[in-house]
Amino acid sequence: MKVAIIGATGLVGNTFLKILEERNLEITELYLFASKRSAGRKVNFKNIEYTVEELTENSFDRGIDIALFSAGGDTSKKFAPIAAKKGCLVIDNSSAWRMDGTVPLVVPEVNSAAAFNNHNIIANPNCSTIQCMLPLKALANKYGLKRIIFNTYQAVSGSGQKGILDLTNGLKGEAPENYPHPIVNNCLPHIDIFLDNGYTKEEMKMVNETRKILELPNLPITATCVRVPVINSHSVSITAELENDFSLDEVRNIFSNYPGMILVDSPENDKYPLATDATGHDEILVGRVRRDFSAPKSINFWVVGDNIRKGAATNAVQIAELFKNIIR
């Protein structure tokens, strides 16, 4: 399979390469693209040196089978249709195509079948949404969902290199360049832009993408998304109201057996999901599973995932892997 990485010099782009090295997608040719600034840069992949090229309208003229895009929404908006028209399957990490009715939005453990109904563009969901889909699908399958409340605690790596720099430079006393306020000693209830309804765009991504992935277009959902001074891995508190009653033992059992998810739920031993434990891994950690005593048939739990791996690069590579017997 001929693979291209768009945004190869970025945080997610680098992680695409790392994950492609770890897994066994057969790559016959690899092309790396970024902006003009990075053209000529050398990058090592499986002990072979590759040269980063400037992304142009002609970049897809060489029979590329799959392009993993993570170079921002504007680049995706412009170049994904060009690639798709030339027969390349685009797996796009930006938000540009996620809510397009003709574009599947896929978390392979949850809705892999949707991926095959594509017009050469498949969208990778928002990072905090991806990690929540696994436990929510597990609950939806068994009990049905009535309402969801998300509260996120999102790492600065979700903003790319510039987010990490605001935290590391901020710890040295420097002023922020990316966030509107210092991220050091702060929690910023502001991710992406504010919308007319008072929510942020990130919060509405969680609402709309969850409905699309779970195929529950009218599910009541609310979200508050917060950036916290953590380098990597997002944590999310979820409250889910279910259609049918449940037992905690049964829910723990369902979570334990769901693919891609590990139950870490032994509070008596101070064991619960932590960002530092999720980082570097592809599995989603779930714990603090408890009955919400303020509402009937409601459950609270805590979900942590590496936002650069499963929240972005791993999920995209898993989507590509769905096609490994179709595209060679």
Binding site for ligand A2P (CB under 6 A): 7-11, 13, 34-35, 37-38, 55, 71-72, 75, 160-161
Torsions phi, psi for 227 (to 5 deg): -90, 130
**Minimum gap (Å) between residue 11 Cβ and ligand A2P:** 4
Torsions phi, psi for 77 (to 5 deg): -60, -40
Tokens found for residue 256: 């334990």
Helix, strand, or coil here: 54? strand
Nearest residue to ligand A2P by CB is: 10
**Minimum gap (Å) between residue 312 Cβ and ligand A2P:** 10
190 belongs to the catalytic site: no
Nearer to ligand A2P by Cβ, of 72 and 182: the residue is 72
Which of 88, 127, 132, 225 is flagged as catalytic?
127
Q: Strand 89-92 and strand 66-69: pairing?
A: parallel
Nearer to ligand A2P by Cβ, of 34 and 319: the residue is 34
For residues 282 and 220, give the distance between their C-alpha atoms in angstroms, rounded to a whole number: 29
Q: Please report where in the chains the tokens 């009541």 appear, as a residue.
A: 220
**Minimum gap (Å) between residue 94 Cβ and ligand A2P:** 10
Torsion angle of alpha carbons 74, 198, 310, 267, nearest 10°?
170
Q: Is the dihedral of CA 307, 313, 314, 318 positive or negative?
A: positive
Which of 187, 225, 234, 281 is flagged as catalytic?
234
281 belongs to the catalytic site: no
Nearer to ligand A2P by Cβ, of 242 and 308: the residue is 308
Torsions phi, psi for 198 (to 5 deg): 90, -15
At position 159, the amino acid (one-letter code) is: S
**Minimum gap (Å) between residue 79 Cβ and ligand A2P:** 8
State the catalytic residues: 127, 234
